[in-house]
Structure 1
C-alpha cells in the first residue's frame, strides 16, 4: 500500500537528527510481510514465555518491557534506519503489546470490548503521524508509542473476534485478511486517505498474524493445528531473520533520500 502524507519533513538540529534521515523503512511488500510475521511471533512468543518462564504474566511483562526499552534506546541512538534494530524493536513490541492487552483483560478484568475502545481513542489522537518523516526525536517517540498501542489494540480486537464471537482462528484470519483487502481497495480505488489507510491496515495485521499464530500453535482440541508455541515461534522467527538479513544487504526497503542522506 502506498503511503503519502502532507506533513512537512522539517527536522532540526535541536531534535538531534539530520534533516532527511528517516528512521523507519519504506512501506513495501517486505514491510507488510515482516510485520505480519512479527505479529505471529509476538502472539506465540508471549504465550510461550507465559507458559515456560515461571514468572507469571506480570513478571514476563516487566522482563520483556525492560528488554524492549534497551532495544529502543539503541534505535533512538542510531542516526538513520537500520533494518536489524528496527525489526527487533517491532518484534519485541509485538510481544509487549500482547502482554499489555492480556494484563488488562486477565489481571485487571477489563472486558476486551472496553480495552479495544480505550486503545481506539488513544490511537485516534496520533493517527496523523507521518511515517515518511520520522526524523526527529519527538516524532520517533510518537511513532513507537503509536506502534505499541496499535499492537495492543490489534491483540484486543483479535481476541474479541476469535474468542468472544466464537469464530475460530481460521475464520478470524480470513475475516481480517478481507478487511485489509477492503482497506487497500478503498485507498487505491475510492480515495481513502493514505494516513487512515496505513494505520487501519497496520492495526488489522496484528489480529491477522495472531490468528494465524494461534491456529498453528494451539492444540487441535482448541481449534488449532497443534504445532505448539516453540515450533511456531521458531519457524516464523527464522523467516523474519532471513528477510531482515536480506534487506540489510540489499537495502530494498530504504528510500532514495535515506541512501543519499
Structure 2
C-alpha cells in the first residue's frame, strides 16, 4: 500500500498542475479549505493532529522541532489522511481528533501509508528524478535535494534510496539499535543479503557503531565516513565494499547512515558466475 499512497500523491499533483519544486503543503491545504496551524506540543512523538469538526477539517503540526522540512512532512502526512481512500473513516472511527506519528516510526498501516503519501507529495518522482540526476551521490546529494525539495534530511534520504539507480541503503539508528532501514531495489539484487530489521543491533565493525558511542556526535550533528564490507551490514557471501556516511540528527536523538557503493561487483555477473558454476557441477547417479 505504500507504493499506492506515493503514486496517489503524484497523481493528485499532476491533476493540480504542479510542475516545480518545492511543493508547498500549506498552500495545498489552503486550496482545499483545510485550516493549518502550528502547535508547540512536546507530547511523546506526536508530529501533528488531523481534526474534524462537522464537515470541516483542520491540521495542527508540531513546532517543537525547529525544522521546516519536518513540519512540511508532518503537514503532508495529515494531507495523506485527508486524501487517501478510507483514511478519514479509519482515523476518525472513535474520535474527531487523530494524533499522528509521522516519519516512518509507526507500525500502524494508516500511519505508514500517510508517510508514503507525504514522500510522494513533497518529492514526486517526475520532479525528483531530474533533480536527482544533477545532485550526485551520497550524503552531499541528499543535502542538495533536501534544499531543493524543502524536506527533512531523513525524508529526503528515504526518497533518495527509493529512486537512485545505485545500490544504496539508508539506516536510521538510536544508540546501538536500528530504528528502520530502506534498501534500493538495486541493492536487493545481490544474492544472499539479509534485511536490516528494526530493533536489530548495529554491527560492531561499522563506522556507525563507533559514531553512536559518543552522544555528542548525535547532539551536535557531527559527520563521519569510511568504507565497510557489504557483509558487515547485510551478511551473505558477496565480497564488496560500501562507503558508509554518518550524520547525527541533533534534536531527534538519532543517526542517519547512508550506504553507497565503493567497490561492488555487478549483480548480473554474480548471477552468471553462479549459473556457470552450477553447469560445471558434476551430477552422480545413485
Asked if TM exceeds 0.5, the reply is no
User: TM-score, length-normalised on structure 1?
Assistant: 0.31
Q: Which has the higher contact order (CA 8 A, sep 6+)?
A: 1
Hey, which of these two has a bigger chunk of strand by percent? 2
More helix by share: 1
TM-score by length of 2: 0.29
